[in-house]
Every structure is written in structure tokens, then in C-alpha cells.
Amino acid sequence: MKKTDGMESIKGIGSKKATLLKQLGIETIEDFLLYFPFRYEDRATHVPLDEIRTEDKVFSSGRIVSFQTSRPKPKMTITKITVCSELGKEGVITIFNNPYLHKQYSVGDCIQFYGMCQIKGRKILFSSPEIEPFGKNVLMNYIYPIYPLVKGLSNHDMVNAMRTILQSLGELEEVFPESLLQKRSLAPFDFAVRNIHFPHSVSALKSARYRLIYQEFFMLQMHLLNLRNKDETARSFVLKELEQAKSFFDKIPFELTNAQKRVLQEMTEDLKQEKPMQRLVQGDVGSGKTVLAWYATYLTFLNGYQTVLMAPTEVLAKQHYEGAKKLFEGSGVRIAFLSGSISKKKKEEIYQGISDGDYDLVIGTHAVIQEGVHFSKLALAITDEQHRFGVKQRGKLSKQYEISPHILVMTATPIPRTLTLVLQGDLDISIIDELPKGRKQIETYAIEQKKAHMVYGQCIGELQKGRQLYIVCPLVKESEVLDLKSAEELYESLKTGVFSSFRVGLLHGKMKSSEKTEMMRQYQEHEIDVLVSTTVIEVGINVPNATVMIIEDAQRFGLSQLHQLRGRVGRGSDQSYCYLIYRGYDQVALKRMQVMTSTNDGFVIAEKDLEIRGPGEVLGVKQHGIPELKLADFTKHQKVMFASKEDIQELTDKRLVCSEQERKTLGDRVEETFQKKMEHLVMN
């Protein structure tokens, strides 16, 4: 048996169960070994019937003194087994729909059983416990693992398969050097795997968990280090910091904050190097990230090279295009807009222009890096809101050209500060932790659904001042299943009701691209007062005159999304407001409301999001490109996390003794671990 063998090779696992296991991410024996229990039952502590004092799950035993089976309904059987302890204490076991038990057990047999008990007078009652012959110890007499399952798979299937595998495999290969095992008193890998599934004792389970938690952190951080070292040989265009570039700041009507100046300096230093810039700029909504991207674009233009900016949605890409046209008017920067909705003929014209060097700045969605688009001298690639854009696109750009472009990633979704030191990935991180002068804190209120009419009434005052209003709903259309406000339903209600004297618009993701663009144009030019929308406006939309955000069914949104939506207002100098309309009393949802009403700081919110949802969701594959950790927890196990980081540094510096073979084994294992799970790690 080899660890790379498929699960079909295991006795008791046929093609049907193998297909079900694939739903759990298990295809090979190695996958199965690293699929850990999520809890355990203490089936090691035997409690005689005479000593049971509380109603709980218990492992006990007895001799069968009577055996009765009845059939109260045609398709129902009830079997009652009375057992007796050595001291005469009786227990009654009730089993439903297993008429063949009498063929397995007889009066006089000794059995052991595990299940929930009830104390009724002098008898102990058990309903549908697990049963086996006394001393067999397949289901009992040890700490029993409980695995996450899918329908069609039983825990018994998992336990039997795991037992078969561990009995058939030889000793599992150690991946860590001996010096590291000794330094951290780590259990051997073979011991850890066997005891995470079938612990010999509670202390053995603790040792196994510690080893595997440490290993998860170690492998992740080693992978990140490899990513940072991977492109050391890559070369990019060296940009000169030209005096003329300073004229850019004459074009913007505000002074940069100290945080913006600091990040600008970091970016400029990167662009002056032959090594390609790989920088993530994270800053709160409205902190002024885009203006820094435009400065880098202008510097690239003055050096004679091209820039591409990729946005996750056409609405946001179009907004960037309009903003860039206005900012670079008269500067000589030639700009093209490229998206999936442009006609084939127009696209081909733009493709040719890009290839001929007729455009200095190309703005669009993922269409800007599709086949057919070839830049003649691309020196800078900017991606906005990386977590919405995906991992492959950025990697594709780096590989497409002999001379790699500098890469700048912008995000308003902060990495929790707790993790920034560790999860830097292949990007250097810059933080804009200061808002522009004159910005007022957005006042945020959580309002129960039954009081929502009061909020809408108050908004009329803002609209009469000439301000604008966003209303966000979780659904486009009314749902028969979910009791939630839909954008279409609310739009129809408001335009003929409370806002009948104002101009109301509707925006959602199912509209045609041209319709969305036109609706956003009308809202930005104040041809519309109230915009009812889905979360399509979550990312980057900039309308400084909008001062009120109402989020319907706010309990349906996560903290990060609520914060992004709130960030659509408060972008001008006027006081802005955010109303979170919620229904129900879900404790986690109420905790999110409390966080939102107590702070405007995106970094604080990111930390709270980590606490509430846990790293599995906050830093899962879908959002960040980081594989979910199975046992390790960034918040609970920080000491272990930093210990592994320190040890990697010592191994790299050769302060920890490690043979060449040990180093190769470790390197191969890191590569194997992440090859299946991810192509590239990026932070957003």
C-alpha cells in the first residue's frame, strides 16, 4: 500500500464511497490520513452499570439476561435487551429496526455498549447505543474519533477505513530534521498521525495535535518564503524618478496625507529597481489608494512605458476610466477602455493600438489580459481589489512578457494586523492608515426592521438638502424561500411611496452592462437621488455627494462586506450616515452590528471579523488564495505560529543543523503540500 494509492484500493471502500470521499477532498490514502477528526468521544473509560449516576453518554457492559423483539407496525421492529452487571444492576437496551440482532447475540452473552443513558428508578435505559461483543474493542475501549461526514458515509466507515490503512502502512516518513524535533520537543510525524486518529491517551492526543498544528504553520510559512525567493531572477523596467513627475500633484485638489506620502515613497523606490515591484497597498475605504496608482502610472508614462489597470467589475473599471481621463487631460497620456461588452471590431482596433504602443494606459476588466492583448512595453500592472480578481490573472501577466512588469495591488479589505507579519505572501505590504483631512466619521446605527420606516422618513431631510442615498438589498428578486427584501420589490415600493417626489433608480448584477453603466452615470451626475441596489456597488464606487447608506437585511452580510458598503458614503466633506436594518436575534449577526456601530476603522473590523468567523472563513482559499488550515488557528495558536516562523529563519540561516538530505525531504514535502491546493498565494 502506498500513500498515493486511491481510496478504492481500501477494503470496504467501493467506487460509490470513493465518490463520496471526493466531496470531502479525499482522493488518495495520504489525503485520508490528513483528514482529521473534529471531536472525540471518551469510550476508554468503562463505567459499570452500578456506578452510573448521571444521564450522559457512557461506555458500559453487562451479561444478556433477556431478549425480546416486537413488531408494533408492519415496517417497524423494537428489540429490548436486558443486561445485568456482576452486582445485579439491570440495564435495558432498546434498538429500533434491527430484527437480526438475535442472530448475533444470545442470552448469556457478555456485550459492551456506548450511548446516551437514562436513569428510570432502579434501571438504566439505553436507546439505540452502539453494541459489540465484550472485549472486541472495535467501537469501544478507546478514545473514539468523530469525523466530518457527507450523506451516505458513516463514521463507522471512516473509522474502519482509517484502521485498515494505519495497520497496513509502514512507519510514516519524518519530514522535519532531528534538530527541529529536539528543539521544539515535537512528536514524530508517524506518532502524530496515528494518535490524532486513535489516541492512546489524552496526553498523546495533545502531543499529536501540537505537532500537526506546528507543521501546518511551518509548511505555510515555508511556502510563502519560497514564493518570495522564487522570482529573485526576474527583471523589470527601471523607472527614473523624473522631476517632471512632480507636476502630477498640481493636478489633484488636495494634499496627500502622511500615510500616502510614506506609501508613495515605498512604491517609488520599488519602481527604481530592476527587480519587479510586487506591492500590496491596503488602506481603508476612501483612504486615497487610487491617486497613488495614478502617480505610478504617470511616472511610467514619463519613462516611455505602458500601464494596465484591471478592475473586478465593469462598473468600477468604467469609473476608473472616467476618473483617469479627467485627471490626465492635457498630459499626453493616451487611455483605452477594454471590457467584455465592447464590440469585436472595436476590441480588435484597441488590441492593435496596444500592440503598436498607441496607448499609454489601458483600463478594463479581465479582458485586458485575454489572448489577443499584447503590450509593446508594459512596465506597470495595477489590480484593484485583488480578492475579487483572482490569483491566476496576476500570475499570467508576470509570465507573459520576457521583462516582467512591476505589479501594484490595491485593496480596501485589510489583512488583520494579527496576521500581517506572517502572511505577506509574495507581496510587500504598504498600509495607508490615515484618512484625508476633512473627512468625518460615518455615523452608523443598527435599526430593527419594525422601525425601518422611521429611517426612511429621516432620509427625506438629507435628500431635500440635495444629497443622495444608497439602499442595498441582499436579493435582486423576491424569494419564496427567504424572507428578505429584494431590490426590485423595494424599488417599486419606494418610487411610488415615501420617495415619490424624488428620482429613484435601480441597479443590480443581472442588468445588461450598458444599463449598469448608464445607471451609474446618472447617479454620479445626480440625475438620480436614490439608488436601490444589490451589492454590485460594494467595490470602489465613488459619489462624494452620497451621504446616506441604508443596508436592508444587514444580518445577511459579513463584517467585511458591511464595511465595504458603508464606505460608499462619507467620501465628501459632509456628515454621512449608515443604517443597518436587521431582523431576528442571531447572536453572531448582532455582534457584527455592534462592531459596525462602534468603529469606522477597517483594521479593527478585520480583527473582529477574524474573532467572530475564525480564520477558516476569513482566510479561506476562495477569499485569499490561502489553503484552509485544518487544525491550526491564527488567533488561538499565535505562539506556535511565531515559533515556526523563527525556526524557518534559523534553518535558512543554517543556525539549526540540518543535513542536505533532511533539507531536500523538507523542501519536497512543502512543494507537495501546496501543489494541489494552490497555484500562487496573494494577499488582498
Indicate whether 278 pLDDT > 90.
no
**Residue whose C-alpha is closest to residue 170's, from 187, 194, 135:** 194
Q: Which residues contact 464 (CB under 8 A, 6 or more apart)?
A: none
Q: What is the mean pLDDT of the chain?
A: 87
Q: Which residue would you say has higher pLDDT here, 132 or 625?
A: 132
- The pLDDT of 304-330, averaged and rounded, is 91
- As a whole number of angstroms, the distance between CA 49 and CA 149 comes to 32
What is the number of structural domains in the chain? 5
Amino acid 365: pLDDT:
85
Q: What is the CATH number of the domain that holds 65?
A: 2.40.50.140
Give the pLDDT confidence of 373-385 residue by residue, as tens digits: 899 999 999 988 6
**Residue whose C-alpha is closest to residue 567's, from 609, 592, 596:** 596
* Exposed/middle/buried for residue 355 (C-beta within 10 Å: 0-12, 13-18, 19+): middle
How many other β-carbons are positioned within 10 Å of the β-carbon of residue 72?
7
Are both 15 and 158 inside the same structural domain? yes
Are both 584 and 487 inside the same structural domain? yes
Are both 586 and 635 inside the same structural domain? no
Indicate whether 187 pLDDT > 80.
yes
User: Is residue 608, in this structure, part of any structural domain at all?
Assistant: no
Amino acid 296: pLDDT:
97
Give the pLDDT confidence of 531-549 residue by residue, as tens digits: 999 888 766 678 999 999 9
Amino acid 253: pLDDT:
83
Amino acid 533: pLDDT:
92
User: Is residue 605, in this structure, part of any structural domain at all?
Assistant: no
Contact 142, 152 (CB under 8 A): no
- The pLDDT of 297-315, averaged and rounded, is 92
Are both 471 and 594 inside the same structural domain? yes
Are both 346 and 280 inside the same structural domain? yes
Strands (E), 134-233: 143-146
Indicate whether 287 pLDDT > 90.
no
- 158 HSE (CA, 13 A, CB side): 26
Indicate whether 612 pLDDT > 50.
yes
- The pLDDT of 290-307, averaged and rounded, is 96
- The pLDDT of 623-650, averaged and rounded, is 80
**Dihedrals phi, psi of 408, to nearest 5 degrees:** -125, 125
User: Is residue 237, in this structure, part of any structural domain at all?
Assistant: no
**Residue whose C-alpha is closest to residue 406's, from 429, 383, 425, 389:** 383
Indicate whether 251 pLDDT > 90.
no
User: Is residue 175, in this structure, part of any structural domain at all?
Assistant: no
- The pLDDT of 40-66, averaged and rounded, is 93
Are both 404 and 451 inside the same structural domain? no
Amino acid 20: pLDDT:
94
Are both 201 and 83 inside the same structural domain? no
Amino acid 679: pLDDT:
38
Q: Which residue would you say has higher pLDDT here, 639 or 371?
A: 639
Contact 493, 518 (CB under 8 A): no
Last residue of a domain, one of 572, 599, 626: 599
Residue 683: pLDDT band with limits 50, 70, 90? very low
Look at the chain and count its residues. 684
Last residue of a domain, one of 411, 432, 453: 432
Are both 340 and 274 inside the same structural domain? yes
Are both 248 and 107 inside the same structural domain? no
- As a whole number of angstroms, the distance between CA 93 and CA 72 comes to 17
User: Is residue 438, in this structure, part of any structural domain at all?
Assistant: no
Give the pLDDT confidence of 444-477 residue by residue, as tens digits: 999 999 999 899 988 999 999 999 999 999 886 6
- The pLDDT of 598-622, averaged and rounded, is 71
* Exposed/middle/buried for residue 332 (C-beta within 10 Å: 0-12, 13-18, 19+): exposed
Are both 460 and 544 inside the same structural domain? yes
Indicate whether 509 pLDDT > 90.
no
pLDDT above 70 covers a percentage of the chain that reads: 89
Residue 678: pLDDT band with limits 50, 70, 90? very low
Give the pLDDT confidence of 589-604 residue by residue, as tens digits: 899 999 999 998 888 8
User: Is residue 31, in this structure, part of any structural domain at all?
Assistant: yes
Q: What angle do CA 111, 113, 118 make, to 5 degrees?
A: 125
Are both 317 and 424 inside the same structural domain? yes
Indicate whether 204 pLDDT > 90.
yes
Residue 655: pLDDT band with limits 50, 70, 90? confident
Q: What is the CATH number of the domain that holds 298?
A: 3.40.50.300
Give the pLDDT confidence of 397-454 residue by residue, as tens digits: 666 778 889 999 888 776 776 666 555 556 788 888 887 777 788 999 999 999 998 9
Amino acid 261: pLDDT:
95
pTM for the whole thing?
0.67
- The pLDDT of 646-655, averaged and rounded, is 90
Amino acid 411: pLDDT:
82
User: Is residue 659, in this structure, part of any structural domain at all?
Assistant: yes
Q: Number of helices (H) and strands (E) in the chain: give both, helices first.
A: 24, 21
Range of the domain at 77: 45-140
Indicate whether 484 pLDDT > 70.
no
User: Is residue 61, in this structure, part of any structural domain at all?
Assistant: yes
Amino acid 100: pLDDT:
86
Rg, the chain, Cα only: 31
Are both 198 and 162 inside the same structural domain? no
Residue 554: pLDDT band with limits 50, 70, 90? very high
Amino acid 622: pLDDT:
41
Grid coordinates given for 594: 455592534
